[in-house]
Amino acid sequence: MATYKKRGYKPKAEKEKVENEFGVEAEEMESTTAEVFNTLDETANRTEEWVAANQKYIFIVVGALALFALAYMGYDRFVKEPNEAKATNAVYQAQKFFKQAEQATATQKDSLYVLSLTGGEGKLGFVDIAEEYSGTDTGNIANYYAGFAYLKTGKYKEAIASLEQFSTEEVVLKALAYGGIGDAFSQLSNYEEALKYYDKAAAVKANSFTTPKFLLKSAKIAIELGKAKDAITFLEKIEQEFTGSTEFSEVKGLLGKAKAMVK
């Protein structure tokens, strides 16, 4: 008697192994999954054991971080903010003297700049404000004002010291501070240092106010030092990029002088 096989029928032993949607055999998948969970359990157990063994040290570290955060917040609220308010109030008179000095006649300027530095009318000057309120924004800006007051009164070493204490990311003030240090070194006839600081001032983010100003000063000092090629580079930058600047009017004559030095 003939035996008929249904279409597509295969003996059980010959059935293909079923694969899941990732192409992994079901039995293999089950085995792999079990291994993964076993590994995770082992890792979790080791972590728990480590935490239990080092619990004391963890609490110390966490506690120290919490105390640091609270101390920082407390310093800001109870020390820095009140000091900032006091410094702002204290600096008003010194700034007033400084502004009066800028507008005063030649015979009055020096005495007003000195008052801005040392204080007057019962108020502190920039020097004491910078020291007493060190760490505040006002104490920082007091160093800037003190630097220029010293520069105006011919105390160039003191000007350098004060301006080096000043720190800012504001483009114009940063460039002017570097430039002020350059001016002080120039007055001390230390032209190499002057050129270094003028170059730093010009290299602060380009703008139409300070960049051509200090490129021109760099060029003049470079000519003084016999560095004609450097001077040409500075002057050509003004010529190409800052045609609308007040410094542009001096470029042609200085450029001719620098190029004559190269020949």
What pLDDT score was predicted for residue 39? 59
Looking from the CA of 190 toward its CB, the CA atoms found within 13 Å total: 13
Q: What's the mean pLDDT in 202-221?
A: 96
Over 90: is that where the pLDDT of 25 sits?
no
What is the predicted pLDDT for the residue at 40? 53
63, 80, 126 from 137: Cα distances, Å: 31, 10, 13
What proportion of the chain, given as a percentage, has pLDDT over 90?
62
Q: Which residues contact 70 (CB under 8 A, 6 or more apart)?
A: none
Tokens standing for residue 261:
């030095």
Q: What is the mean pLDDT of residues 152-163?
A: 98
- Structure-block tokens of residue 96: 């007033």
- Whether residue 214 has pLDDT greater than 70: yes
Q: Which residue has the higher pLDDT, 164 or 25?
A: 164
Determine the average pLDDT of the residues in 204-208. 94
In whole angstroms, give the CA distance from residue 190 to residue 175: 19
Q: What is the pLDDT of residue 211?
A: 97
Strand partners, 120: 123
| pLDDT grade for 157, boundaries at 50, 70 and 90 | very high
pLDDT category at 132 given cuts 50, 70, 90 is very high
Cβ neighbours, 10 Å, residue 174: 18
What pLDDT does 1 receive? 45
Listed in sequence order, the DSSP H helices in the chain are: 26-53, 55-75, 81-103, 106-118, 126-132, 137-152, 156-165, 171-187, 191-203, 210-224, 228-241, 248-262
> Which of 118-122, 155-159, 164-168 bottoms out in mean pLDDT, i.e. has the lowest?
118-122
Confidence band for 86, pLDDT divided at 50, 70 and 90: confident
With a cut of 70, say whether residue 67 has pLDDT above it. no
Over 60: is that where the pLDDT of 120 sits? yes
Model confidence band, residue 87 (pLDDT cutoffs 50, 70, 90): confident
Average pLDDT value for residue range 160-170: 97
Average pLDDT score over residue span 221-248: 96
CB 121 within 8 A of CB 112: no
Spatial separation of the C-alpha atoms in residues 26 and 192, rounded to whole Å: 79
**CA-to-CA distance for 214 and 195, rounded, in angstroms?**
9
What is the reported pLDDT for 8?
47
